[in-house]
Amino acid sequence: MTPDLRREAPAAARNRDPILEALRPLLPANGLVLEVASGSGEHALHFAQALPGLVFQPSDPDADARASIDAWCAGQPNIRPALALDAMAPEWPLAQADAVLCVNMIHIAPWAATPGLIRGAAAVLAKGAPLVLYGPYRREGVPTAPSNEDFDASLRARDPSWGLRRLEDVAAEAAQAGFGAPGVTEMPANNLLVAFRRS
Please report, rounded to a whole number, the percentage of residues in the chain having pLDDT higher than 70: 100
pLDDT tens digits along 128-141: 999 999 999 999 99
Please report, rounded to a whole number, the percentage of residues in the chain having pLDDT higher than 90: 93
Q: Is residue 10 pLDDT above 90, yes or no?
A: no
Q: So where are the chain's domains?
A: 30-197
pLDDT tens digits along 151-177: 999 999 999 999 999 999 999 999 999
Q: Is residue 3 pLDDT above 90, yes or no?
A: no
Rounded CA separation 97/172 (Å): 23
Evaluate if pTM is beyond 0.85: yes
Written out in words, the top-level CATH class of the domain with range 30-197 is alpha beta
Q: Is residue 1 pLDDT above 80, yes or no?
A: no
**Non-local CB neighbours of 139 within 8 Å, separated by 6+ positions:** 166, 167, 168
How many other C-beta atoms are found inside a 10 Å radius of the C-beta of residue 97?
Answer: 24
Q: Is residue 2 pLDDT above 80, yes or no?
A: no
Share the mean pLDDT of the chain. Answer: 96
Q: Is residue 148 pLDDT above 90, yes or no?
A: yes
Rounded CA separation 91/82 (Å): 17
